[in-house]
Amino acid sequence: MNSAALPAVAAPSLRRRSSDLLYRKPGLLLLLLLAPPLLWFGVIYLGSLFALLANAFFRLDDFTGQVVREVGVSNFIALVEPANLDAARRSIVMAIAVTLSCALLAFPVALLMARHARGATKALLYIAVMLPLWSSYLVRLYAWKLLLAKEGAISWLAEATRTTWLLDALLATPAIGGPSLSFSTLGTYIVFVYMWLPFMILPVMAALERIPASTLEASGDLGARPRTTLRHVILPLAMPGIAAGSIFTFSLTLGDYIIPQVIGDSTQFIGQVVYRQQGVAGNIPFAAAFSLVPILVIGIYLWLAKRQGAFDAV
């Protein structure tokens, strides 16, 4: 008895074979998904960073104004000149001051939003924090330029409340004062804090929202007062969020050159030195060498922030 002929099995398509291969080897699928962003990161970001490092070893010919591609360390030696050290020191001190101020201002706001506000109140607080970010950076900056001007709203408010003496005393203080708030280090500091405050509030609020309510209840059940709970329970658990927010406030302040250019006196910050060396003087090698200073400082800061668990709250 002859057996019936079996139908021929069609060969699997290329799409099916590829699907089976990726299913059997999930590592290959992960590699394919990560290849485009890794390629972009490697070529665009790291490539430009290495090009920046390479240019830092060249020099500018004082006579022709052309870049001489001869390896040397003259630019790094110039970094330790008093004027350059002052600019670096001033930028780091400003970044630390802005970061500390943002942390002090952000914590109570974030605590209110995360643990106490409900419903419409919480939504309004969200909008109040995010609203400045919906407008242009330059619009906010020049709005503060008008507010801080000698004839601006803050001076008018000081006259109306008879606190002009306090404003004059602040402007007469060495190192932070000036002709007006819009031409002073104090004014630069105020605008920096305003600009970067939302970047501190949001990570801190995220960290506070992750604190279990049972933890706070347990603290109260053990006899801790609200102040004790805040100091020994809430604040330590919020530190990763504070550290994460400080990454934004510190790095953004350290590298910004627009705010000190519009608000402030003639004192130089790192961003301004790099901008003028590259754009005005055409000294790209020295600008590249000076650009490595904030990269190094931020690298150290990121290492310190990582030890505080900052990347757990980013």
| 88 within 8 A of 267, measured Cβ to Cβ | no
Task: Flag whether 160 is in a domain.
Answer: yes
Lowest mean pLDDT among 29-38, 221-230, 285-294: 29-38
DSSP string, 91-156: HHHHHHHHHHHHHHHHHHHHHIIIII--HHHHHHHHHHHHGGGGS-HHHHHHHHHHHHSTTSHHHH
Measured between alpha carbons, how far is 93 from 96 in angstroms, rounded to an integer?
Answer: 5
DSSP-assigned beta bridge partners for residue 57: none
Domain assignment present for 266? yes
User: Is 69 inside a domain boundary?
Assistant: no
Domain ranges, residue 188: 86-312
Cα Dmax for the chain: 117
In tens, the pLDDT along 217-240 reads 888 888 888 888 888 888 888 888
Write phi, then psi, for 164 (nearest 5 degrees). Answer: -60, -35
Q: How far apart are CA 245 and CA 230, in angstroms?
A: 19
φ, ψ (nearest 5 deg) of residue 77 = -65, -40
pTM of the predicted structure, to 2 decimals: 0.82
Across residues 287-293, what is the average pLDDT? 87
For residue 261, pLDDT over 80 is answered with yes
Most confident of 61-65, 93-97, 287-291, 302-306: 93-97
Alpha helices by DSSP H, the chain: 14-24, 26-40, 47-55, 74-78, 82-111, 119-130, 137-148, 153-160, 164-171, 185-209, 213-221, 226-229, 235-255, 258-262, 270-279, 284-307
Cα–Cα distance measured from residue 259 to residue 256, given in angstroms and rounded to the nearest whole number: 7
pLDDT tens figures, 96-147: 999 999 999 999 999 999 888 888 888 899 899 988 888 888 999 999 999 9
Answer yes or no: is 186 within a domain: yes
What band does 40 get if pLDDT is binned at 50, 70 and 90? confident
> 240: domain CATH number?
1.10.3720.10
**Is 62 part of a structural domain of the chain?**
no
The total number of structural domains in the chain stands at: 1
Report yes or no on 74 lying in a domain. no
218, part of any domain: yes
In a domain, 214, yes or no: yes
**Higher-confidence residue: 21 or 310?**
21
pLDDT at 24 over 70: yes
